[in-house]
Amino acid sequence: MELTQLEYFLKVAQIEHLTKAAEALSVTQPALSHSISKLEAELGVPLFERKGRNLQINRYGTMFMKRVEKILQEVERGKQEIEECSNPESGIIYLSYLNILGVGLIPKLIREYQKANPKITFELTQGDKGAIVEQVENGFSDVMITSERPASDTYEWVPILSMPLYLVVSFDHRFAERESISLKEITGEPFVGLKHNCSLRDSLLTRVHHMNFTLASTYDAEDLPTVAGFVAAGLGVSVLPKTSGLHLEGLRWIQIQEEGWRWEVGLHIKKDRFLSPATQKFVSFIQDKAGDFTN
């Protein structure tokens, strides 16, 4: 049973004349007659009493017509909802992002976008690296903003901002008065690290490996604010971006002398994912504004 058959049946039931119904539907009368006959054969009952080209709906047709009207109404509502959701001027953008970005970057990004697109709304999901990837993979979010470049070529990366990373120590640490430092000097220092679900962790480990020194990891926290809290309490040192949500009392931020120690944030787009016109417009906005945002 096809949707077209139901549309044809409903028009014939309303007009009760094959030729006039065919004209209203812009199809030939034989094609319409064949569609109705095929529908009746599938249902196993006649839906009309035939009197030449005039048709009179019978009790089976009347019962079926009530259901078909509801079905087609729901289909039309579904079309309208999709149109409203995907409209580039008034649609919905389904976006996932890292928890730490919800303090500064995401609110600023949404504010700037809605200034120019006031009818656009956002359906937001925040979480750790694993949670937001799952949201995109399962189709609940169209795009995500994270601090780690894609690990595979199934995603496209659109850069948003790049910030320096700092060595962070407590105010009474022996390095607290230093303006800058080589990270090789922290060898053996208790280090507050990150668990596997944090995007910054892999980036730090890769950089440390290339510098041929190790970190004496004492604690592994779930997120960046927890790392900052442990450092402020004097439980170790760490490497963090100077971003919103991490400016705790008792922290000292020391410039890293080695080059390349930066925190990148960007948009991940799944290459095989359909993007609504509303989402495509948002992606273009980020591409045009790349580098203009601060967290």
Task: Measure the CA–CA gap between 23 and 264, rounded to whole angstroms.
Answer: 61
* pLDDT by position in tens, the chain (length 295): 889 999 999 999 999 988 899 999 999 999 999 999 999 999 999 999 987 768 899 999 999 999 999 999 888 888 877 877 778 888 889 999 998 888 888 999 999 999 999 999 999 999 888 889 899 988 889 999 998 888 888 999 999 988 899 999 999 999 999 999 998 888 888 988 887 666 677 667 666 655 655 666 778 888 888 889 999 999 999 988 888 777 778 899 999 998 888 888 999 999 888 888 899 999 999 988 876 766 6
Stretch (H or E) spanning 109: helix 105-116
Domains and CATH numbers, the chain: 3-79 (1.10.10.10), 92-159+269-289 (3.40.190.10), 164-263 (3.40.190.10)
Task: Measure the CA–CA gap between 239 and 183, rounded to whole angstroms.
Answer: 9
Distance of CA 215 to the CA centre of its chain: 34
Count CA within 13 A, CB hemisphere, residue 76: 7
- Which residues fall within 8 angstroms of residue 214, CB to CB, at 6 or more apart? 187, 208
Q: What is the pLDDT of residue 295?
A: 64
Q: What is the pLDDT of residue 280?
A: 92
Q: What is the pLDDT of residue 282?
A: 94
- Specify the residue for token string 């948009």: 267
Q: What is the pLDDT of residue 43?
A: 92
Q: What is the pLDDT of residue 42?
A: 93
- Which residues fall within 8 angstroms of residue 101, CB to CB, at 6 or more apart? 126, 145, 147, 265, 295
Q: What is the pLDDT of residue 68?
A: 93
Judge whether 93 and 142 are in contact, CB under 8 Å. Answer: yes
This prediction has a pTM of: 0.70
